[in-house]
Amino acid sequence: MMVTKIDINDINRKDLSRYNTIIVPATYGSPENEVVDQLKEWTRAGGTLIGYRSALRWMSSSKLLPLTFKSIDNTANNITFEQRSDFYGAQNIGGAIFETQLDRSHPIAFGFKDDQLPMFRNTRLFIEPHSDSFRNPIRYTDNPLMSGYISDLNLEALKNTVPFQHNNYGRGDVIGFTDNTQFRAFWYGTNKLLMNAIFFAEEM
């Protein structure tokens, strides 16, 4: 498929009507307001906007994809100054594999044959599930850790959260993933999620 790479700060100088899908990777901070406004206008007209990882924060704050992020009380109790680096380092998720439960009747799960899907995660972005259960087609299980390291605090926060959400926006669709479904082109198990997001957004 043809792919066009555009710097997010240059979007307001591009004719977005040429595209039907825009994928926003993890970003530092938020784009300028005029960029967000242009993305909103484009999405309302029927575009599919897909965001990854930290991009979900500004997508949520701008009401493109309303989300509820789970906050964690990470207080350093009985930690000395010398231990502070180890304390904060232990809270990182450097890359581990977690089990999710799939609703295979949902378009995002098209083509998957099992109800469980292992997902690779290296982010501490935790999203509360939607109040409507059918809007949570992918959900981390009660005991999600399959392989790798995660602190007890983060593991407890991850349980039963969701790595995917969808929102209708005008005539378009906004989709968010907390985890990189195409991680370094070697984690093939979740590639299909992005393809389904691109081709079946209108069915969600």
Using CA atoms, how far apart are residues 123 and 53, in angstroms rounded to an integer? 7
144, two tokens = 């999600």
The kind and range of the H/E element at 37 are helix 33-44
* Chain center to CA of 1: 22
**Cα dist. 64→68, 125, 156 in Å?**
13, 18, 28
Domain range 8-70+84-203, CATH class:
alpha beta
Boundaries of every domain in the chain: 8-70+84-203
**Alpha carbons 167 and 59: distance in angstroms, whole number:** 11
What tokens appear for 95 in the block? 């890359």
Digits of tens for pLDDT over the chain (204 positions)? 888 999 887 888 889 999 999 999 998 888 889 999 999 999 999 999 999 999 999 999 999 999 999 988 777 777 888 877 877 777 788 889 999 999 999 999 999 999 999 999 999 999 999 999 999 999 999 999 999 999 998 999 999 999 999 999 999 999 999 999 998 877 889 999 999 999 999 999
Please say whether the beta carbons of 162 and 127 come within 8 A. yes
- CB neighbourhood size of 123 (10 A): 17
CB 65 within 8 A of CB 59: yes
Which sign, positive or negative, has the C-alpha torsion 110, 168, 70, 128?
negative
Helix then strand then coil, % of the chain, to nearest 5: 35, 25, 45
Give the predicted TM-score (pTM) of the model: 0.92
Tell me what pLDDT residue 12 has. Answer: 82
Q: In 37-163, where do the E strands start and end? A: 48-52, 96-102, 116-121, 138-147
| Amino acid in the structure at residue 86 | D
Question: Which H or E run includes 69?
Answer: none
Q: What angle do CA 187, 168, 196 make, to 5 degrees?
A: 30
